[in-house]
């Protein structure tokens, strides 16, 4: 256990008992307060792991205990990624040490080919490390992009998300399911082309984005969760949901993944259609009659029990982070002020846990999957990851450095 963490733990605890921000505080205080709070929570999170003598990867809280996951879990990149953002937010090298340790612990996922989430896993961990100067991580990013590319199905022009030969996915009658979440894996492919000069990764990403734009979105700019393609002729077999309320409903995190994913695609390609899709998808969110006045969506915009349905803070954090980037392209004040409003809400005591509570995760009130009956109104490592990313982007925007 690192001594500086032990010795400063108690002081940090005292400093941060009142850390969650209140609506009256000044703009600059918001960032400082939320960094201080994140430091207190993440220190406790890391301390518990280090004290175990193992390398653990916290995902959520289950039956009152922190649930740790193995490296093949789709969320395994978020805790290492949060460590990188802690380093970026604080400049304290201790976070870099932990970021490297927990990132390098999942190195073998670069060979993972049995689901699409290798993009999330490697980009959030190694990708952030590479962005912050760890040149040795380049090979991991490239290897992971090769693994993800094995899931490209040329007949349909998409990357297959899930295999259909096991688990609950085998019960749905799908041939080649693609979920909107998969837009988040494309950043890895764009990076691999930049690192290698091999345009095949870029081309796969663009085909996937184009077909997602064509098939996942409805005329009102909401999106389906799952599009099932034919592997024989590439046609669309089904438009379904897996984690939303109904096939025709709008699952909140799916809307968030779409906004974020098309923003990244615009960054990488400058194709205005991608920018417009991100903007229109965000318009759908803010104009929806069920978008709450505190800007943190219900888990599904069409959930039948609104306003008594659980919120999904993870969706809000993903959208806020995407909006900070979106604000750098067009209508900056509009997108930045929306991102700030969402962050103010997430940083308030309604969503931001007190130090030492909530399994030492930062945000409360997220939802994993209500149809599967798992992770309902809990903390989630990806809610924290995108909250920290959004905080980092906000800090850089306000300092006028690159987002
Ligand atoms: N990518 C899985 C989820 O958003 O729950």
Q: Whose CA is nearest to atom 5 of ligand 1?
A: 368
Instruction: Calculate how far, in angstroms, residue 370's C-alpha sits from the geometric centre of ligand 1.
Output: 12
List, in sequence order, every residue forming a beta bridge with 62; answer none if it has no partner. Answer: 65
384 is catalytic: no
Say if residue 55 is preceded by a cis peptide, omega within 30 of 0.
no
Which residues pair with residue 66 across a beta bridge?
61
Give tens-digit pLDDT for 303-342. Answer: 999 999 999 999 999 999 999 999 999 999 999 999 999 9
**Ligand 1 centroid distance, CA of 11 (Å):** 36
Determine whether 181 is an active site residue.
Answer: yes
CB atoms under 10 Å from CB of 261, counted, come to 27
Which residues have a Cβ under 8 Å from the Cβ of 114 and sit 6 or more positions away? 163
Residue 181 Cβ inside 6 Å of ligand 1? The answer reads yes
Higher pLDDT among residues 333 and 20, named by residue = 333
CA distances (Å), 121 to each of 48, 76, 105, 332, 401, in order? 22, 6, 12, 30, 27
Asked whether 375 lines ligand 1 (CB < 6 A), one says: no
For residues 98 and 382, give the distance between their C-alpha atoms in angstroms, rounded to a whole number: 18
- pLDDT tier, 263 (very low <50, low <70, confident <90, very high otherwise): very high
Tens of pLDDT, residue by residue over 279-303, are 999 999 999 999 999 999 999 999 9
| pLDDT number for residue 402 | 72
Nearest CA to ligand 1 atom 1: 181
Give me the pLDDT at residue 11, please.
33
Model pLDDT, residue 401:
75
Q: Are 265 and 231 in contact (CB under 8 A)?
A: no
91 burial level (CB within 10 Å; 0-12, 13-18, 19+): exposed
Q: What angle do CA 240, 244, 247 make, to 5 degrees?
A: 30
Structure confidence by residue, pLDDT tens digits, 53-89: 999 999 999 999 999 999 999 999 999 999 999 999 9
Which of 73, 181, 228, 384 is catalytic? The answer is: 181
- Distance of CA 281 from the midpoint of ligand 1 (Å): 18
Structure tokens at 280: 């229109």
C-alpha span between 358 and 363 (Å, rounded) = 8
Q: What's the pLDDT at 396?
A: 98
Integer Cα distance of 352 and 99 in angstroms = 23
Could you tell me the pLDDT band of residue 198, with boundaries at 50, 70 and 90? very high
What was the pLDDT predicted at 66?
Answer: 98
pLDDT of residue 6: 34
pLDDT value, residue 400: 82
Atom of ligand 1 lying closest to residue 243 CA: 5
> Cα 288 to chain center, whole Å?
22
Ligand 1 centroid, distance to 8 Cα (angstroms):
35
For residue range 97-141, list pLDDT tens digits in order: 999 999 999 999 999 999 999 999 999 999 999 999 999 999 999
CA distance 399 to 137: 28
The single residue of 117, 228, 312, 384 carrying the catalytic annotation is: 117
Q: What pLDDT does residue 28 have?
A: 66
Q: pLDDT at residue 34 above 90?
A: yes
Q: Which protein residue has the closest C-alpha to ligand 1 atom 2? A: 181
pLDDT mean over 149-159: 98
Q: Is the CB of 110 under 6 A from ligand 1?
A: no
Task: Determine contact, residues 341/394, Cβ cutoff 8 Å.
Answer: no
Beta strands 152-153 and 158-159: pairing type?
antiparallel
3-state percent helix, strand, coil for the chain, nearest multiple of 5: 55, 10, 35
H or E segment at 227? Answer: strand 226-229
CA of 75 to the centre of ligand 1 (A): 9
Asked whether residue 10 carries a pLDDT value surpassing 50, the answer given is no
Question: Could you identify the atom of ligand 1 that is nearest to the CA of residue 369?
Answer: 5
Say if residue 13's pLDDT is above 90: no
Give me the pLDDT at residue 23, please: 56
The pLDDT score that the predictor gives to residue 223 is: 98
Residue 46 has a pLDDT of 98
In angstroms, what is the span from residue 228 Cα to ligand 1's centroid? 17
The CA-based angle 239-240-243, given to 5 degrees, is: 150
Q: Using the predicted structure, report yes or no on whether residue 24 has a pLDDT greater than 70.
A: no
Judge residue 164's burial from the number of C-beta atoms within 10 Å of its C-beta, 0-12 exposed, 13-18 middle, 19 or more buried. middle
Separation of alpha carbons 257 and 235, rounded Å: 23
pTM attached to this predicted model: 0.94
Residue to mutate (ligand 1; options 243, 250, 255, 372; most atoms within 8 A of CB): 243
Look up residue 378 and give its two tokens. 């809990």
The ligand 1 atom at the shortest distance from the C-alpha of residue 257 is: 4
Q: Where are the alpha helices (DSSP H) in 197-244?
A: 200-215
Q: Which segments of 197-303 does DSSP mark as H helices, in order?
A: 200-215, 252-269, 272-287
pLDDT reported for residue 25? 63
With cut-offs at 50, 70 and 90, classify the pLDDT of residue 3.
Answer: very low
Task: Assess whether the C-beta atom of 300 lies below 6 angstroms from ligand 1.
Answer: no
Does any ligand 1 atom lie closer than 6 A to the CB of residue 253?
Answer: yes
The confidence score (pLDDT) of residue 8 equals: 37
Query: Which of 73, 74, 259, 316 to probe ligand 1 with, by most ligand atoms within 8 A of CB?
Result: 74
Could you tell me where the beta strands, DSSP code E, fall in 56-190? 58-62, 65-68, 152-153, 158-159, 176-179
Q: What is the pLDDT of residues 385-401, one digit of tens each?
A: 999 999 999 999 999 87
- Cα 326 to its chain centre, rounded Å, is 16
CA of 181 to the centre of ligand 1 (A): 6
């Amino acid at each position: 256990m690192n001594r500086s963490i032990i010795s400063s733990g108690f002081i940090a605890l005292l400093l941060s008992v009142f850390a969650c921000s209140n609506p009256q505080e000044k703009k600059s205080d918001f960032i400082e307060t939320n960094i201080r709070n994140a430091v207190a929570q993440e220190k406790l999170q890391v301390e518990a792991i280090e004290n175990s003598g193992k390398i653990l990867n916290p995902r959520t809280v289950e039956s009152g205990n922190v649930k740790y996951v193995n490296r093949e879990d789709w969320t395994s990149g978020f805790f290492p990624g949060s460590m990188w953002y802690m380093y970026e937010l604080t400049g304290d090298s201790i976070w870099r040490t932990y970021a490297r340790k927990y990132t390098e612990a999942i190195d073998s996922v670069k060979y993972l080919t049995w689901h699409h989430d290798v993009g999330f896993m490697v980009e959030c961990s190694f990708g952030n490390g590479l962005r912050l100067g760890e040149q040795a991580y380049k090979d991991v990013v490239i290897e992971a992009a090769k693994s993800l590319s094995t899931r490209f199905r040329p007949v349909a022009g998409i990357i297959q998300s899930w295999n259909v030969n096991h688990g609950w996915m085998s019960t749905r009658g799908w041939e080649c399911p693609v979920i909107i979440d998969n837009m988040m894996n494309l950043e890895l492919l764009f990076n691999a082309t930049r690192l290698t000069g091999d345009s095949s990764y870029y081309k796969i990403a663009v085909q996937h984005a184009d077909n997602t734009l064509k098939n996942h979105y409805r005329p009102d700019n909401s999106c389906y969760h799952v599009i099932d393609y034919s592997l024989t002729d590439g046609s669309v077999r089904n438009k379904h949901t897996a984690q939303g309320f109904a096939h025709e409903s709008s699952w909140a995190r799916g809307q968030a993944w779409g906004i974020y994913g098309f923003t990244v695609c615009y960054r990488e390609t400058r194709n205005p259609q991608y920018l417009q899709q991100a903007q229109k998808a965000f318009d759908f969110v803010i104009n929806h009659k069920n978008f709450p006045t505190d800007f943190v969506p219900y888990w599904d915009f069409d959930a039948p029990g609104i306003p008594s349905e659980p919120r999904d803070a993870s969706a809000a954090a993903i959208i806020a982070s995407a909006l900070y980037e979106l604000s750098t392209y067009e209508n900056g004040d509009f997108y930045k002020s929306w991102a700030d409003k969402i962050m103010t809400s997430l940083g308030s005591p309604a969503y931001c846990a007190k130090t030492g509570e909530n399994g030492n995760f930062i945000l409360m009130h997220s939802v994993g999957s209500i149809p599967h009956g798992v992770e309902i109104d809990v903390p989630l490592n990806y809610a924290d990851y995108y909250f920290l990313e959004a905080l980092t982007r906000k800090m850089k925007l306000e300092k006028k450095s690159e987002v």
